[in-house]
Structure 1
Amino acid sequence: MTTEQLPLFPASGAKPKRIESPPRDAALVATDAPLNAKSSLAAGIGAFHDHMLQLGWSPYTLQAFGGDLKLFMKFSGANCALDELTTEKLNAFLHWLRYERGVPCKPKSFQRRLTTLKVFFAWLLKTQIISADPAAPIAHQPVTSPLPEILFDQQVETLMSAARAFMNAEKSDARPYLLVSLLLATGIKKSETMAIRLSDIDLSNRAQPALYIRYADARKRHKERKLKLPADFADTLAQYREKFQPRAHLFECTARNLEYILADLAKMTGLGETVSFESLRWTCAVRDYRAGLNPDHLRLKLGLSTITWEEAADRLKRLAAKPL
């Protein structure tokens, strides 16, 4: 007869099973005993999961970190003592992930799993459960993805001038300026742009307009946030609404129509493929980074999880760095 092992991270919505007499050697049974260096890996991961919950980390981060640590536990053994997990054993696990597991491990997934180990063991060290961090000596290997396209300061001025010219033309069209100024100020994604409702825009203080990014999907509500809009947004919006008369959403055309607007501006200014939703999002992020915006505030502004931010922050540093 096999012993039933309880899942470390219960499935969402699952009802807990009633266990009358759990076996003594069940590795993942919760315990009130304080952690120490001789505690099992399973106990350490369980305590770390509670720590993540207390910090209010996003469901995505909880799921990703939980999956990574369960995979590490599968390799190392649930009953392995925390102080037996050396740098050599961590490197063996990482080697197994890449070459011996039999399942492809993409570079981004590998980097995320290494990040998970670093965060987990840094927490164990900070809470004085272990006396040395075995993950600290392991360096991140750069993911070979190209740096995103961004607009330089002079190009931003050129783009804004071209967009403003449409608004001031004889046949006025405020859409180009409204769209470009919105994207450069907020750094929101295309899907978030299309989801903006007029009721999400707060103009109660016209000098300091704000935008609420909301998600209908409950699983993504950790991305909801309040963002500053350009100081002239209220006037631009009034001119836009007068002509196009949107009823519910800010943009009641298709996403392709907005892409055409950006493409026309790119052609008009000679900026080519550097004008897109993605490039304007990264341009916003780089400008905020250079201006000294707190990194965690910038992460929240962009709606990124702590895992996704790991790579994004590295790319931002390289994009914003001074010439060598």
Structure 2
Amino acid sequence: MPENKIASHLTQNTSLASAIHSWEMYLADQGRSPNTIKAFLSDVRLLAGFLPEKTAIGKITTKDINRFVDWMEKEREVPSSPKTLARRITSVKSMFRWLHHYGVLVVDPAEKVAARSAISPLPIVLTPREYDEVLLAADRHRRAQKPDARPYALVYLLLTTGIKKSETLGVLLEHLELDLPDGPQVFIKYPTPANRYKERKLSLPLDWVPAFEEYAAQYQPVDRLFPWSPRRLEYLLEDIGNEAGLKKHLSFDMCRWTCALNDYRTGEEPDKIRQKLGVSKIQWRELFIKLKQLAGDK
């Protein structure tokens, strides 16, 4: 359904509850994940519950939304954490921005509501020594009496590309280009239009290719690069971390942050790191702050 068609029946006199229902249809049409839609709807329904019943969207003011934010932060029986508060404000601003964009509202009442940034704790990364120990532990499986290149192919891919768990699971064999003049690459693709901005081609280390070829000969994957469940691959990482003697839990997220930190420490341009990670400029603000803190920069 065309985006403007979803909002075409709405007016300033439409109730907030009805507008929320139309926004739900819009989010689904944009290919947002069920979990994202569920979180967004939960946030804006909280606003609907805070305002008088059947409040028309054209009657909602910036003052109303700011009172709602204050209530969530200070007066609600279970106050929102900084991270949850930031997300809820973002959800409300997103819905009203949509209503304004399609001409339902002449003025966006949420535009001047201050966004909040909740800086979460610093991520845990591998030290240079731990990085080497992890790769050595994975490589020992390649040299075992019954060779298994899967751990090394997975761990080395994560530590050098920084791709997320969902992206790893989505890599198909056809997304690998191993014979390019400029070196091997992997194409990170997304099925939904809303996530197309995250798509990118990433360089692969030359010495990853032999490990991949060994792995492919041993497991003979047909479609997906790693045709296992997320949990199975998480267990595999955990096992390698234990074999490497780590006191921390080796995870997809730890590999991603370690990759970004290594690139930053070797002098890679920040925007190139952002593009490599596939994050927006807004998301990058907080990530870059953390990256500099991890690197010991002031």
The interval holding the TM-score normalised by the smaller chain is 0.5 to 0.7
> Does the alignment pair 1:295 with 2:261?
no
1:149 aligns with 2:107: no
Pick closer, same or farther for the CA change 1:321–1:268 going to 2, 3 Å: same
How many pairs are equivalent? 241
Q: Output the CA distance in 1 between the equivalents of 2:236 and 2:71.
A: 48
Looking at structure 2, the residues matched to 100 and 268 of structure 1 have their Cα atoms a distance apart, in angstroms, of 49
Deviation at residue 207 of structure 1 after TM alignment: 6.7
- Show the counterpart of 1:285: 260
Q: In the alignment, does 2:238 pair up with 1:247?
A: no
Gapped runs of 5+ residues in structure 2? 13-29, 33-39, 45-56, 94-111
Match of 2:3 among 4, 12, 25: 12
Rounded Cα–Cα distance in structure 2 between residues aligned with 1:13 and 1:101: 36
Could you tell me how far 1:291 is from its partner in structure 2?
Answer: 2.0
Q: Which residue of 1 aligns with 2:247?
A: 272
Match of 2:233 in 1: 258
Give, in angstroms, the shift of residue 98 of structure 1. 3.5
CA-CA distance at 1:16 after TM superposition = 7.4
* SS class of match (1:227): strand
The one-letter code sitting in structure 2 at the alignment partner of 1:107 is P
CA spacing shift, 1:215–1:318, aligned 2, 3 Å = same
- Confirm or deny: 8 A CA contact 1:174 1:239 kept in the other structure: yes
Distance 1:139 1:219 in 2: 22
Partner of 1:107: 82
Distance 1:141 1:195, change over 3 A: closer
2:200 to 225, 228, 231: 225
Select 2:168's aligned residue among 183, 187, 193.
193
- Distance change (3 Å), C-alpha of 1:16 and 1:179: closer
For the residues of structure 1 that align with 2:189 and 2:243, how far apart are their CA atoms? 33
Alignment of 1:63-82 (within 5 A): 75-76=61-62
Query: Structure 1: any 5+ residue segments left out of the alignment?
Result: 1-10, 19-25, 27-57, 78-90, 117-134
C-alpha separation in 2, matches of 1:300 and 1:193: 17
Q: Distance in 2 between matches of 1:15 and 1:190?
A: 33
Which AA in structure 2 matches 1:12?
Answer: E
After superposing the two structures, state which structure 1 stretch, 226-235 or 189-198, moved more: 226-235
- Post-superposition CA distance 1:149-183 (Å, at most 9, x none): 11000110111111112112221111111011100
Cα gap change, 1:283 to 1:107, in 2 (>3 Å): same
AA in 2 matched with 1:197: L
> Is the CA contact 2:149–2:211 (under 8 Å) kept in the aligned structure 1?
yes
Question: Of 157, 167, 171, which aligns to 2:146?
Answer: 171
Distance 1:207 1:242, change over 3 A: farther
- Number of the residue aligned with 1:8: none
Q: CA RMSD in A?
A: 4.0
Q: Label 1:205 to 1:193 Cα distance change in 2 as closer, same or farther (>3 A).
A: same
The Cα offsets for residues 114-151 of structure 1, whole Å up to 9 and x where unpaired, read as 9x9xxxxxxxxxxxxxxxxxx9xx998763x3211110
Question: Structure 2 residue aligned with 1:181, among 143, 156, 160?
Answer: 156
